Structure 1
Amino acid sequence: MTRKSYLLFGIFMCFVLGNTYAQSEGLKITAKPKNMWELGIHVGHSILTGDVDWDSDFGVGLHLRKALDYTFSVRFDGTYNRLSGTEEENRREVDANRYGFGTNWMPEYESTYINGDISVVASLNQMKIFKKNKINPYGFVGLGIGSANVEVTDGNNTFDVDDDILYDDEWNINPHAVGGMGIGFLVGKKISISVEHKLTKFLGRGADLMDGVEFQGRLSDRVITKDDDLMNYTNVRVGIGLGKLDEDQSLPLWWVSPLDMIAEDLAEVKARPIFDDSDSDGDGVLDMVDQEPDTPEGYPVDTRGNSLDSDGDGLVDGMDEEPYSPPGYEVDSKGIAQVPQPNILNENDVNKIIDGRLANWTPSTDLSNDWF
């Protein structure tokens, strides 16, 4: 292929690609439509499973979520969790000794964990095709950090584990990993309610000290327990889509099927009437668009099949003997305008004048005078 041929081929491809781009711009085809952020609030039941028997406590927080595509989304979660527990059977000699308690200490603690994390959420409802996604099961995993406060008690004596053992900084920062599952329900145009169970695995130094207990056995053994602390947070979430729901912005994509647009187009095609070219009254307008399908034969009609009334006198042209009556005059039952006669001389008036003059006329021999 010569250099000239390469040049012509390149120009042709640029033209084709440019034309394709222009067409796609005109059609505004997008793989992922603009969609809302979701802002939510959640409240629920918190417990800490580990070395100490847990007591029921609570958690509360906010989340902000944005779809990456129809299946995956990213969620920013901020939560305040309160945790507590009391041991009823096992004494902890090693931990009691370093806290300054007696060797018969039965562990009791109260902890708070103010935390934030970022998670990738996978929606599992996209397997449904041509149906509105009003139920959304999902799973998620993520990482985060939190500020912990762990306090153990022995009667009236207390010990701050976070300040004296766990952390060196004043913020008591601890990393963690999260994971869990939930199911959401779309209950309004932009409002959803979800039930979720979230697990938080503490990392680093706080992995086994959120309940204040790290060792088992006698003081001489100093054996670290095998049960790392795990926070369970079962919660109810209420989410609301941010922004206006219209043709330019959809719900968050986990509530939208990627085939919704195709399904709506197919439904519209199916709902269209079958083309019928019959014209029952023969007025030249098809029955399917004729607003007056029984127009009398020969009556002129407009483009919608309605009988014309050209002069607007209330009588259609097919019955009007004067279809173009002058405006401003009343018409009779035949459509003829009742125009008053003008005040001018007519033939009868002229004849009367002549007859009156002739009645008083005397013949004269003087032909120079006009008899009239």
Structure 2
Amino acid sequence: MKNSKSLSLILGLSAYIGSVNAQVSPSHPYTAPHPIYGTFSVTDSNYYNKKQLAQHNEFMVGSQDYPGKPKDMWEVGIKGGIFTIGGDVDAVLGTPGFGIHVRKSLGHTLSLRLEYMYGIAKGQNWRPSTGYTAGGYTNPWFYRYTKNSVLPGGNVWNPIDYPAVYYNYKTEVQELSLQLLANIHNIRFYKAQTGVTLYALAGLGVSTWKGRVDAMHQVRGDAESAAYDFASVNSDGVYTNRKDVLKRLKDLQNGEYDTPIERDPSKPYSDMFRGNIAPSVSGGLGLAFRLSPRINLAIEDRVIYNGSDLLDGVRWDEYKTLSPDKDLMNYLTVGLNFNLGNKSRRVEPLYWLNSMNYAYSELRRVPEIILPDADGDGVTDQFDQEQTPAGCPVDLHGVSLDTDGDGVPDCKDKELVTPTYCQPVDADGVGKCPCPEGCAPAQSDCAASLGALPSIHFAANSNKLSDDAAATLATVASKLKANPNCKVVVVGYCAATKRQQQLSWDHVNKVISHLVEKEGVSSDRFIFSSGQEGGDCDAVDIRAAAPGEDGPNTVAPPHPNLRKN
């Protein structure tokens, strides 16, 4: 039956949900030995530290929904790349930077990394500058890049004495920082293991730097002869493009970077380590490629800021005012990272492992759904009220259908619809018509046999049977089946309007149809009576038919198109 198949589907879904919930209930502890990440199994206590072991034990007995977080490996890495400073002086590309780090995951998304960085940055302007004169005698450019070594109280400044210069620098930077890395690219829905992860980082640290400029010849005696004569770089006005100017500067300078850059007066620890020191912040992005369970290759770019404008030794613009922009450091690297730890006690770092693996492995463990049905009638034993012979159609309760209510199931009934007056029937469901004289009980006994039958109530202007009404009709059906020779009259009330006439017919028809279709009572047991006076418009009365009383068991609806109009 269609209804039986629908019920089976609902039961199947219920059993599936129950089986999933059972895995985390106290009566169904987790027992799967299969690995989730590589060789790691959720049930293996070797992968949990003391703090997580208590949660693991609770999970194993079913009192905790989530397993403990396994111990994972530490990552150490080395890297090298390009270190540059973005400031007031044009950066020379290709200067080196190096670093080492140690990293530990906090979970599948976040991890902490402690990193040491050492970088060398160089810069060289190809355009001349005069802003250095605003710095006075505190600026190395002022007393190194002049034709005359002028002391305080000496000659008044003259543009001839202080010609334009070409800023350059070489700065060494060291930084130690603690960084938070965020990675969600390992969470995959269609594969267990990712080969590439994208991450963002932010860090706090401390940086120290020491810079020098290339300002003089090798001569250490006379200041005038020691200083470069930058006026010669473009004295003939020919070298006006970048390439030519840089070539002439390279020929002029010796690359010794002999003069310290100006100390940063805004930093209170400028003299520490013979340089400058300041707190730093950084941020960046990285892309890591998993080469094996132990090794990965990372490409990363990090920007570092420490609030100084003197990383390149220049803080004055050409208008003799302080430069409004602070210097930034950029650290572009390629590195090799190694996972350290015993693989029998630690998994790979969690930021390499797909956190969906556990959820998907649980879904795969749902057992095959088995709903026992001993008699094979399509209704599971849990709801089956009868062991039905093979091949017999049943109702939703697993009870064999008996259309005419003669006590012989339809699958064995050779007379599928036996009139009530022809019953009782033989073993093949065949009635005895005409009934031999005196075989039928007197109809006057029906009122006593059936007793007072209950009324069926509907909601106002409704033709829907409530659950209570359906239960009441089940009781009426039981009495009718126990008295197969009795008929009943089904009475509906009110006929003042067309709507009342139709609704009264609907109520009577609803009651009879329910008793025939849902309860298996033969339709010839009913007398249809609607539109009567003297009763509740929203009620239907059922009474035993009087001796000799008869009538149709169905009538045409008085106004079938009323609702459409």
Q: Same fold (TM over 0.5)?
A: yes
Deviations 1:273-297 (A, max 9, x none): 999xxxxxxxxxxxxxxxxxxxxxx
The DSSP-based 3-state class of the residue aligned with 1:24 is helix
C-alpha distance in 1 between matches for 2:206 and 2:357: 39
Matched position secondary structure for 1:174: strand
Aligned to 1:278: none
Code of the residue aligned with 2:324 in structure 1: it is K
Q: Secondary structure at the match of 2:59?
A: helix
Q: Say if 2:332 is the partner of 1:224.
A: no
Matched, 1:106 2:166: yes
Find the aligned partners of 1:49 and 1:164 in 2 and give their Cα distance: 17
CA drift at 1:126: 4.0
Q: How far apart, in 1, do the equivalents of 2:88 and 2:168 lie? A: 11
**Conserved in 2, the CA contact under 8 Å of 1:82 and 1:111?**
yes
192, 195, 201: which one aligns with 2:296? 192
Give the conservation status (yes or no) of the 8 Å contact 1:130–1:259. Answer: no
Partner amino acid for 1:262? A
> Which SS does the other structure have where 2:69 is aligned?
coil
AA paired with 2:348?
L
Q: In the alignment, which residue of structure 1 is the partner of 2:525?
A: none
Q: 2:211 matched to 1:176?
A: no
Change (3 A) 1:52 1:96: farther
Counterpart AA for 1:252: P
User: Could you tell me which residue of structure 1 aligns to residue 332 of structure 2?
Assistant: 234
Match of 2:493 in 1: none
Quote the offset at 1:258 in angstroms: 1.4
Contact 1:43 1:60 in 2 (8 A): yes
Partner in structure 2 of residue 80 of structure 1: 118
Amino acid at match of 2:349: P
Distance in 1 separating the partners of 2:186 and 2:315: 44
1:249-260 alignment, distance < 5 Å: 249-260=346-357
Distance 1:164 1:73 in 2: 34
Q: Percent identity?
A: 25
1:43 and 2:80 equivalent?
yes
Give the alignment partner of residue 179 of structure 2, picking from 79, 102, 119: 119
- Aligned with residue 194 of structure 2, among 133, 150, 153: 133
> Quick check: 2:263–2:310 contact (8 Å CA) kept in 1?
no
Alignment deviations for residues 115-154 of structure 1 (CA, whole Å, 9 cap, x no partner): 1101110003144225212210000011111221111222
Taking the aligned partners of 1:264 and 1:188, their CA distance within structure 2 comes to: 23
CA RMSD across the alignment:
3.0
2:142 is aligned with 1:142:
no
CA contact (8 A) 1:130 1:260 kept: no
Gaps of 5+ in 1: 1-15, 276-372
Could you list the runs of 5+ residues in structure 2 that have no partner in the other structure?
1-25, 30-53, 147-161, 218-226, 228-257, 371-565
TM-score (structure 2 length as normaliser): 0.41
Q: Please tell me the residue identity of whatever aligns with 1:83.
A: A
Contact 1:130 1:257 (8 Å CA) reproduced? no
Q: Which has the higher contact order (CA 8 A, sep 6+)?
A: 1
Q: Which amino acid aligns with 1:208?
A: D
Match of 1:263 in 2: 360
Partner of 1:202: 306
Equivalenced residues, count: 249
Aligned: 1:24 with 2:62: no
Q: Within 2, Cα distance between the matches of 1:177 and 1:38? A: 22
CA distance in 2, matches of 1:192, 1:124: 17
Q: 1:257, CA displacement in angstroms?
A: 1.4
**How much does 1:89 deviate?**
0.7
- Aligned to 2:112, the other structure's residue is in SS state strand
Q: 2:355 and 2:68 mapped to 1: Cα distance?
A: 9
More strand by share: 1
TM-score (norm 1): 0.60
The amino acid that maps onto 2:59 is S
Distance in 2 of aligned mates of 1:187 and 1:161: 44
* CA-CA distance at 1:69 after TM superposition: 1.1
Q: Could you tell me how far 1:163 is from its partner in structure 2?
A: 5.4
Greater per-residue helix proportion:
2
CA distance in 1, matches of 2:214, 2:301: 29
